[in-house]
Amino acid sequence: MRRVFCLIAVVAVLAAVVGCAPPTPEVVEGPVVEEPAIMPPPAPIPRPAADWGLEPLEERMIIWTGDISLVVKDAGESLEQVEAIARDLGGYVVNSSSWYQEEQLRARLTIRVPAEEFDTAMARLKDLAIRVESRNVSAQDVTEDYTDLDSRLRNLEATETELLELLTEVRERTRKAEDVLAVHRELSNIRGQIEQVKGRMQFLEKMTAMATINIELIPDALARPIVVAGWRPSGTEANALRALVKTLQFIVDAAIWLVIYVLPTLVAIAIPLLILWLIWRRWRRGRKAA
């Protein structure tokens, strides 16, 4: 019994040390030392680097993000072209919004494309514009984070294996419910940490596999029409006739209210007042005569 609890305590301490291990400290700039990866991603993901003056980074895990503002002739047409570019490169539109400002359509959208098509997407977007208003590219290297997670996962899985062996041993030797439950609780805790680490690793793999591009489409001021789009004299005439009809309806409605409601109400109020005035006048004359 004492031996079982000692083994459980050792495994629990080992799991706590693995779960609370501090992140790898940042390395000061200096000569790069190649370290063998403990467990590389399931499939190598090529990274865009040709147009930014960087060395090939096939062995690194990079999250690419681009922001670009384009001045275009027709924002509506360019919006459809951007969506077509995302589909052609094997990506998709994350979100899209458009609105009118000073009688011109503006749009903003976010697309995701495969990381190896990032440079191609940026070049094709640039070709749509009359000019590029602004352009920004950022690359976040998450290789060290992924390696740390991989090391932590291996340690947790090793701890899980030891706990499974301990659980089998406890069931065969002691067969006590409290011992089995104690080992099972530690095993459930380790399993939860393993699932959490795997989820984070999958998230990093997805983010590095697909690059994100935020695009703003700004209509060219020279392309703004002199005549407001949609203006028709016949429409103005129709609006004027509708306004005239509404005015005549208001006058007729007012006359009907005056004849049917206002005048009878005034008569009903005036008759008692007139009777009271005549009585008061007659009383006053009689008082003067007296």
Tokens encoding 17: 């040390």
Q: What is the mean pLDDT of residues 193-200?
A: 93
Whether this model's pTM surpasses 0.75: no
Tens-digit pLDDT profile for residues 218-235:
998 755 554 555 556 766
Query: Same CATH fold, 59-141+211-223 and 2-20+143-207?
Result: no
3-state secondary structure of 106: strand
State residue 8's pLDDT score.
57
- Domain range summary for the chain, segments of one domain joined by +: 2-20+143-207, 59-141+211-223
Task: Tell me: pLDDT of 262 over 60.
Answer: yes
Residue 154 has a pLDDT of 93
What pLDDT, on a 0 to 100 scale, did the predictor assign at position 91? 93
CATH architecture of 59-141+211-223: 2-Layer Sandwich (3.30)
Query: What per-residue confidence (pLDDT) applies to 152?
Result: 93
Token pair listed for 133: 């208003």
More confident residue, 49 or 195: 195
Lowest mean pLDDT among 7-11, 33-37, 108-112, 134-138: 33-37
At 83-112, the pLDDT tens digits run: 999 999 999 999 999 998 877 889 999 999
Q: What is residue 228's predicted lDDT score, i.e. its pLDDT? A: 53
Helix axes 177-209, 2-19, angle to 10 degrees: 20
- pLDDT of the residue at 54: 40
User: pLDDT-based confidence at 31, cuts 50/70/90?
Assistant: very low
In the three-class reduction of DSSP (H, G, I as helix; E, B as strand; rest coil), residue 40 is classed as coil
pLDDT at 232: 64
Among 210, 58, 62, 64, CA closest to 136: 64
Give which of 34, 27, 65, 35 is closest to 47, Cα–Cα. Answer: 65
Between 140 and 225, the higher pLDDT residue: 140
* Secondary structure (H, E, C), 131-172: EEEEEEEEEEECHHHHHHHHHHHHHHHHHHHHHHHHHHHHHH
222: CB partners within 8 A, 6+ apart: none
Residue 41 confidence (pLDDT): 36
Secondary-structure class of domain 2-20+143-207 per CATH: mainly alpha
pLDDT at 122: 94
**25 DSSP assignment:** P
Q: Distance between CA 91 and CA 113 in Å, rounded?
A: 4
Sheet containing 131-141: which strands, arranged edge to edge?
Answer: 92-101, 104-114, 210-219, 62-72, 131-141
Confidence bin at 36 (pLDDT 50/70/90): very low
Pair 41, 145: CB distance under 8 Å: no
Model confidence at 10: pLDDT above 70: no
Taking Cα atoms as reference points, which of 50, 56, 109, 48 lies closest to residue 78?
A: 109
Give the model's pLDDT for residue 267.
Answer: 87
The one-letter amino acid at 43:
A
Q: What is the mean pLDDT of residues 130-139?
A: 92
